[in-house]
Structures are given as structure tokens and as C-alpha cells.
Amino acid sequence: MTKGYLAAALGLGAAILCVAPALAQQTEFRISAGDLKQALDQFARQSGREIIYKVDDIGGVRSPGVRALVAPEDALDQILSGTGFSSRFDSSGAIAIVKTGGGDDGAARTDGGGSEIVVTASRREQLIRLVPASVSAETGRTLARRGATQLEDIVRNTPGLSNPGPGSGNKTNLTIRGVATGTDPGLKQTTVSLMFDDIPLDPGSAGLGATNLRLVDVERVEVLRGPQGTLFGSGSLSGTLRIISNKPDLTGPGASAELTGAATRGGEGSIWGNAMVNQALIPDRLAIRAVGYGFQEGGWIDNSRTGETDVNRNETLGARLAVAARLGERLSVDIMGAYQMSKDFAAGESLYAPVVGANDPYGITTSRQSLESRLESALVNLGLRYDFDALELISSSTYIRRKASLNDDAGYYTEVVGLQLGIPGLTGSTPAITTNNSDIFTQELRLVSTAAGPLQWTLGGFYLSAKADGGQWVTAPVLAPILGSGNLAALSTEGEQEELSAFGELSYTIGDRLDLTAGLRISDTTLRFDTLSSGLLFTGSPNPAVQVATVIRQSDTAYNPRFAIAFRPSEDLTLYVSAARGYRVGGPNLTAGLGGPNIPRAYSSDNLWNYELGAKGRAFDGTLRYNAAAYFIDWSNMQTSLSLNNVGHVGNAGSAHIYGAELEASIQITAQFEVGGSVSVNKAETASTVPNLTRTTGIVGITPGLRLPGSPEFQTSGFAQFNFDVAGNRAYLRASGQYVGDQYTDYDEKGTRFGDYTVADLRVGIALDRVEVIGFVNNLFDGNGKRSAMNRSTVGPIIAQPQIAYRIRPRTIGATVRVNY
């Protein structure tokens, strides 16, 4: 019996066993985002409930609205989400709207009054506790409150999410639930799809780094654990991270600004800031929102070979402009343009072993030249939404121009060539430049049911067309007088990726307690790469006229179903089981000629099935929130990072099994005091034999039972926040910490060990009318934990790279001033 039939049989059996009587009458609510007073008035009319509030209290507050078939209590939860208000029954039986206890505007996750985050993980708005999947979400206000500005900050607070990538910034390598086979994704598609609103930022052909989109003026961030191939397509192999931006506010003007300065122990200072302006040009009809930001983060690693200090600094600049128009009562038009340029002046690597006698024994690199990477992205999106009463038509059209470059020094090749020519000790600058530029167009159309009733559905189509060009050039000027040319390697490539998908998902509710969900996505993907290579390392001749041409063609059709059953024994508890399939496209090994004939020209797609059992809900009048899940993952034809003759490449390494569990919870102990945390445990091992693969350590072959590289077996995080008043002003103190278990760069706990570290942060803030002042200490105890690492490597007798580690930033002390209008 196939996995798909097995999942369907399990779903049908559970459905027969779990049918139960009705719980509460659901109502279709259609309340648009906007002024909270208007939203509450509409809720009163649509629900027939009496609402009591103070107009002066809620004036100027914005509500996310609600558009869903839910119970009235859940609809009110959504309307109040993130507003700083909650609901309770007064003595007359009416619903009173009151300020959240303690005045903590940022605690939308748990405020003691029932307010919860609304997510769109299923492509429709739902309370997070009703989604039959493992989802974490944080509002933009909560992210700002804890100082989250980039992807690494999301990793530190989300169970099952990790980053074994070599460095942060442009070298981030997001993984979920241990679905990893190395520290550096290279040019292959990552296992976690990164999305901005409905836009996939890094499709398969857009390699050479991850878009480290800064978290500025965002509504929320959602992390969907488990494969999301049915609704979100390729690259969602182990999950999806969605950044949802704040949209223009049609109700009135608004503005905010923020400035942060920080000092890092043993390194340069840092400064960053952002500003936002919103203006309703025609109230309730036309609005514009502009955002700009800049980050200059100082380095702390010194290069002992070149004499440079603090080489691993980062510069990021970005801007976003959005226009929202409501043309009548049915048609909405949203236009958004965004740009970001991020430059890592070095990856941040340091020697793995401490250097005796050095001022900073953990902050030294010996690179011949500090690696530099630059990633520049510009995008334009047109969103259309039309209301047909019983359904909505949603269109999203996007163009992305993505330019990536990586500059390094390959001086070890010059030394090896010198030995072969009988010139020992031959050295010289050997620039190695790698580029990848992409033009990406995506179009998605969705029809979403909105009518009241037990059957809800989503149908859609997706098209992607990506054209890429780039290559790698390695030049040794010192060899030009000897060989007539310093051309060691010159590789140029042109590629295309085209994907056409159709998807749909149906959900049927029985007795208001049982939801049965089934979905399917069919995707057809075609890849084409044409390469032209020359140079001594490729052809044996430095003459640029001696060339080798290669044509790579690859096509694949993927079927990705999803099944889920959710049972709600009460309004405060959701139990679910699910089975889902995800996939990732294949691709070329562009530098195969450097390592000899045993490196394949291309690698195939891989896929996995995720079987999951979960529970989520709230207790004690909503003061306790929790989300728990246990899962089994069956990964087939997994793509893995390999190395042959010091040439990194990708191959397919058979199958793997992953078992794990995760839990996140928070509790509002009092109106002023909240604690929370998360924990994930994971066991990821190979399940088949592949005898001829040369791993990154030089060990040949894979057998069953080997632990996967870059896969932590244990992670945990926690926080405690105390809210209080100072002279009538709201203030808070927040402490948080994270532990990451040990990991390895190769299978079977071979290679270089990293992880096994703890980091703690402390923040204190006070809100003075429209101004908020925050002080913080990151890495409070000044740990030197290794976030990632790379093995020692050689080319012949020459050391190409010593054993290195990528460490967490040393203790950093800073302050933020935030102003809201």
C-alpha cells in the first residue's frame, strides 16, 4: 500500500471514530481590517451581541478584522488580536471591551483575556489554535518588543527551527525538524521556503545565499513546521517561514521611527534604524505606506594573516512602498515595491581551537582574504482581490530581480600549481568570484470559499519562470608570466526554471467539532542549464580559447497531497492528526569538472512524508496557551552536501527517518507576569545504503543508522516578562534564553562538532506616551558558542582551509528609542 493510500485510510478511519455532536453555532463574519470601533460595531450587528466600550479608549486603535466562519467568541478574539484590548462579560451579560491587564501592548500571544493571533497558514484566516498543523506565530509588536530584526532572531524563539549555516546574514541556512544534510546549502534549494506575504523569495534557481529580509514594519511572522508542498509548493520540504508585512492603513495617518545603537565586546559599534509613514489619501479608499531602514552591524573577528580587524561587519539597506486601493465594495488593489541590499564583509569564521596568548583567543581568522558576499533583491507585486459574495478571487503577480555575488581568495590553488611546476612556495593573490543573477516572475490565482456552511475550499494555480546567469572565475596573476595566462577557472552559466502547478484543498466540518481536510498539489518543473568552462583546473590549459560546453536538462512532476483531521472536544482544545508530502527540485553541479568525472553533472529532486499528531489550545480562562506535536518523517532521495578533491557538490543519498516531538507554551501567571518557552527533541538517521558517495570529511559511503549532519537532537528556549508602572508609565523587564544541542558537519557524528551552547538576553523598556525607550544586553554571559563549523580541508599537501567555527556574537549592550505617531 502506498503512503498516500495509507494516509487516506487513516484519515477515513479516524473520521468515522471521531464524529461528535455540535458544540457552538458558527457564523460567517465579514469585518474588514481598520478602525477598532467600526469593527466592534459591525460585530455587534452580525452577532446580535451587546458590546460595551469606552470610545475614548479605543479611538485610533486598528483591528485586523475577521473574515471567517467561526463562533462569535472566536470572531471577537480575532477582532481584538494585537490591539491591547480583551473582552469579558459584565454583570448585565453584555460583552465589555477592556484594556489588557498590565498594559503590555506587545503580549498579543497571551494577554489573559482571550486575544489570540490570527494566521493564514491554510491560505485563509484562522485563529492559530484552530489550525490543524504545528504553527508558531509572533506579532510585529511582540517582535519589536524583544528586539527581533532578522531571521536568526526568529530561530532563537521557535521550536524545531535552526540555522546550521556558515555565518548569519546572507549565509543563513534555515532547517526545520532536523531535515538537514550539511551546514551550507550551496546552490541547492533550501529545505525551508522563505516567503514575504505570498511571494517565494528564493526559488530553486536562485541559489548562492538566502535573502535575510529584515523584520521591519511587519504584521507578524508565521513558522509552519512540516512540509507545506500542497499550498506553498517546492522548497517547503520541511516547512515555511512567512513574513507578513503591514499593509497601508485606510483609516488615517500614522508614522513611526526607531534608532538603535550597540557596542560589542572586542568589536566595532553598531547602529541601525528605520522609519515608516502612512497616509490615507482618500479615507477608507486609498492609502500609501512607505518604509525605509538601514543596518550597520560591527564585526568582532580579526584576520591575523592580513592584519585587518573586525572584518565580519554587515551593511544592509532597504525600502518598501505600498499602495492600497478599495475600488467599490468588492475590488481591492494592492501594489508593493521593495528593495534590499545586504553585504557581509566576511562570513565571520574564526579558528576552531582557541589561540593561546591572543587578546581574543576565539576571534581570529587566518583567511588569505576575508570572504565578502552581497545579495541584492528588488521586487514588485500586484495583488488583486475580488469579492463574489460566496467566494473570493485572489491574484498575486510578482517580479523579482535578484543579484548575488561571493568574493573569496583561492590562493591554495596557486600554491598547488606552483608545486606541480617545480616552484615550491609560489604564492600570490588568487581572486575567486562567484555570481548568480536571477530574473523571477511568479503568478498565483486562488479562489477561496467565503460562504457560510460546513464545506470550505481553496483552489488555485501557480506559475514560476526564472532565468539565471552567473558563474565562477578564479584568476592567479602570478601565473601569467609563467603560463601565459592566469586563468585557473572560468565558468559561465545560463539557466532557466519553469514551474506550473495546480492545487486545491477542501475542509468539511461535521457537527461543529470535527474538521476533515484533504488537499493536493500537482507541479511540473523544468530546469535547463548551459555552461561554458575554461581554465587550467577545468581543461588542463590556461588558454581561455580551450573551452568545454555542457548542457543540463531536468524535468519532474510532483504530486503532493495533504490530509488532516481536527477534533475539538471543547472551544479551548484542538486535537489533530495529519499526513503531508513536500518536495524540492533538483539542479546542476556547475563545477563538476573541477573534481573529476565522479562528480555528477546534476542531482535529482527529493521528497518526504510527514506524519503528525498534535494538540493545541488554552486553559485557565486563556492564561495558558500551548502547542504540542509528535511526528515521523520519511525522507526519500535526500539531497546532501558532498566533497571530492576539495570540490563541494550535491548528490542524492538515499533515505532517512526522523522522529521527534516539540512543545511551546506560555502562561500569564498574573496580569503583570508572563513566562513561556519551547522545547524540541529530534532523532534523524539514514535508512539506506549508498556506497559511492564521498562525504565532506573524505569518508566514502553511507549506511543505515547514521545521524544526519547539521541536525540538532535537542533545542529549548524560554522567557519571562514582568510588566509594571513607573510614575504612571508602562514598563517591562524581559529575560530570555536559548540552548542548542550539539551537531556535526558530517554523518555519524563525524567531522567537526558545533552547537551545544547557551545564550541569554536581557531587555528593559518604558513607554512614555508615544516614545518608548529600551535598553538591552544580548549574550549576557558573553558565551562563545559555535553556531556552525567547517572541516579542515586540503588540496594535495596544501591546507586550503583550517578547521573553523562560526560563533555567536559576543556580549552586546545597546539602547533603542522608538517613536509612534
Q: How confident is the model at residue 100 (pLDDT cuts 50, 70, 90)?
A: low
Q: Is the pLDDT of residue 562 over 80?
A: yes
Please tell me the predicted confidence (pLDDT) of residue 705. Answer: 96
In which band, very low, low, confident or very high, does the pLDDT at 586 lie, cut at 50, 70 and 90? Answer: confident
pLDDT of 108 over the 70 cut? no
Q: Which three cell numbers stand for residue 150?
A: 532578522
Going by the DSSP 8-state scheme, the letter that residue 232 receives in this structure is: H
Question: What single string gives the DSSP state of each residue in 113-136?
Answer: S----EE-TTSS-EEGGGSSSEEE
Task: Please tell me the pTM assigned to this model.
Answer: 0.84
DSSP type of residue 535: B
- Residues in contact with 505: Cβ distance below 8 Å, sequence separation at least 6, in sequence order: 122, 123, 230, 231, 457, 458, 517, 518, 519, 520, 562
The two beta strands, 254-264 and 269-282, are antiparallel
For 734-749, write each residue's pLDDT tens digit.
Answer: 999 999 999 999 999 9
What integer best gives the mean pLDDT of the chain? 86
Of 397 and 151, the structure prediction assigns the larger pLDDT to: 397
C-alpha cell at 353: 581551537
pLDDT for 49 equals 77
What percent of the chain is modeled with pLDDT above 90?
A: 50
pLDDT at 595 over 70: no
Amino acid at 712: P
Share of the chain above pLDDT 70, in %: 90
All structural domains of the chain: 3-20+28-115 (3.55.50.30), 143-820 (2.40.170.20)
- With a cut of 80, say whether residue 261 has pLDDT above it: yes
Rounded-to-integer distance, Cα 239 and Cα 242, Å? 10
Between residues 517 and 794, the one the model is more confident about: 517
Average pLDDT over residues 217-243: 90
The band of 234, judged by pLDDT with boundaries at 50, 70 and 90, is confident
Distance between CA atoms of 26 and 512, rounded to whole angstroms? 8
How does pLDDT run across 170-190, given as a tens digit for each residue?
A: 778 889 999 998 887 766 788
Q: Average pLDDT, stretch 313-329?
A: 95
Q: What 3-state DSSP class applies to 145?
A: helix
